[in-house]
Amino acid sequence: SPNPASTQTCLQASPELALPLPWQCFNATGQVLAEGAFRQMPGCIELKGWPGGTYYIKVLSKENVYVLPLIVQ
């Protein structure tokens, strides 16, 4: 996954995680800016038009919640 990124970021999840994997992207204040579901791996999120800054990608599996930082240039 490119970090920092400018046009897209892609995530590779462990093969044991069942698809689809819902995700949300939010900013430092917790506002949800985008959401969707990864239906295949690697799962990519388009970032074109996003203002530069730090965001967080939350990925929800049946067992866990993963939060990953993302820097958009």
- Whether 70 has a pLDDT exceeding 60, the answer reads yes
Task: Give pLDDT tens digits for 14-61.
Answer: 888 889 999 999 999 999 999 999 999 999 999 988 899 999 999 999
Helices (DSSP H) in the chain: which residue ranges?
A: none
- Whether 73 has a pLDDT exceeding 80, the answer reads yes
pLDDT computed for residue 15 by the predictor: 83
Neighbours of 44 (CB within 10 A): 14
| Averaged pLDDT, 56-70 | 93
CB 61 within 8 A of CB 18: yes
Euclidean distance between the first and the last CA atom of the chain, given in angstroms as a whole number: 14
